[in-house]
Amino acid sequence: MKDKTYRATPLGLEAARYYRWKKNEWGATAETLRDYEAILAKLALDHADLELANFEPPIGTERLREFIDNRWGERTPRTRAKVISVLRDFFAWAVREGKLNGSPAAPIFRPRKRDVARGTFTEADVRTLLAAQTRRRDRVALLLLFRLGLRKSELARVQFKHYDGRNLTVFGKGEKVRYLPVVDGELRLELERHVLDRQPKPNEFLLYPEKRGPEFYGGPVGVIWRDRERQLSSTAMHRWWSACVGRAGLPHRPMHEARHTAITDFLRSSGNLKLAQMLAGHADIGTTANIYAHLDTSDLETALKALNEAEQ
């Protein structure tokens, strides 16, 4: 965030020290840092007259509960859970640094999240989406979503140096690294043809910012500016996805549903929850089981029929 005035407050000074630790020692991404800083800036400005010591529990816990309710009381459980996670991390850091005896955020529970309807794409929709893309880089990027289940942030960070002809190195949340074998024939062919066509430098990104328009007044539309060694921002990634879906004439759907499709298809095919966890890059296998194993009643019907036939 551009406005750093919150750092003039006592809490803001501590938030700035935490920010430096989160960036330099923990290795948070720029997007994560922006989200964390925005929340802590509000905490500092709303309590500009207080020191960190004024947040020792139990008084500090009540102050935080009041702060969360005033700022985010009407927001979704998902948003409030994120705010609580940020506050927990900040005050846990303060305890480790010897600035507090206990964390005031530790006793605060995250709200239960409502079940979210998570859709998947049919193979026909995937084929329509791919066929509508005239640029090979877009087809490669879509196949990485639908075949390997990359997150939006992971796709944005893909550089040509991350592909060695066999495996793709993927950088996930918290700088976690996983290596995904590229065995899908279509993905492998499109990726290798793209490398041959582009002859890219190692540091080039698969998706990068560019400006397209007429090269001169009334002339044909082409690329008038690009930076192949810079990744797309989160907002630009959403615009890229919307453009791909729009070209295919499909109703708009969240990009994350492509990831759901990949993990679900893999789980249906393999039946191996542990391998699905590895593909998804989840630390907790429960996340894979509860969120990304997007099976439906047809899967249940198939399983029940198989069980019934085996008992006869």
Rounded CA-CA distance 86/84 in Å is 5
Structure tokens at 236: 């630009």
- The domain locations on the chain are 5-96, 123-295
User: How far is Cα 36 from Cα 114, in angstroms, rounded to an integer?
Assistant: 23
Task: Output 193-198 pairs: Cβ under 8 A, ≥24 positions apart.
Answer: 193/136, 194/136, 194/137, 194/140, 195/160, 195/163, 197/136, 198/160
Contact 82, 76 (CB under 8 A): no
Tokens of 229: 């060694």
> What is the model's pLDDT at position 288?
79
Check residue 58 and give its pLDDT.
94
User: Alpha-carbon distance 172 to 264, whole Å?
Assistant: 19
Token pair listed for 159 = 């550089």
Phi, psi of 221 (to 5 degrees): -75, 130
Mean pLDDT by 10 residues, the chain (312 residues): 89 96 90 92 95 96 95 89 95 97 94 67 96 96 96 94 95 85 94 93 93 65 81 90 95 92 88 88 80 57 64 60
Helix (H) or strand (E) holding 221: strand 221-226
* Whole-angstrom distance, CA of residue 171 vs CA of residue 100: 34
**Omega within 30 of 0 (cis) for the link into 209:** no
SS (H, E, C) 143-200: HHHHHHCCCHHHHHCCEHHHECCCEEEEECHHHCEEEEECCCHHHHHHHHHHHHHHCC
Determine the CATH number of domain 123-295. 1.10.443.10
Question: Which among 196, 207, 199, 197 is positioned nearest to 229, based on CA atoms?
Answer: 207
Q: What are phi and psi of 121, to 5 degrees?
A: -90, 145
DSSP run (H or E) holding 213? strand 210-214
Secondary structure of residue 226 in the 3-state scheme: strand
pLDDT of residue 20: 95
* Spatial separation of the C-alpha atoms in residues 193 and 165, rounded to whole Å: 12
Closest listed residue to residue 42, CA positions, set 1, 102, 96: 1
Cβ 147 vs Cβ 184: under 8 Å? yes
Q: Which amino acid is at 301?
A: E
pLDDT tens digit sequence for 97-143: 999 999 999 999 988 765 555 688 999 999 999 999 999 999 999 99
Please identify which residue in the block is written with the tokens 């690009």.
226
Tens digits of per-residue pLDDT, 220-237?
667 678 899 999 988 899
Quote the pLDDT of residue 311: 61
Residue 42: both structure tokens together: 């509000």
Q: What are phi and psi of 279, to 5 degrees?
A: -65, -45
Residue 169 has a pLDDT of: 96
Asked if 141 and 207 touch (Cβ cutoff 8 Å), the reply is yes
Look at residue 312 in the predicted model and tell me its pLDDT.
60
pLDDT the model gives residue 209: 92
- The single-letter DSSP state of residue 106 is T
The two tokens of residue 81 are 């859970």
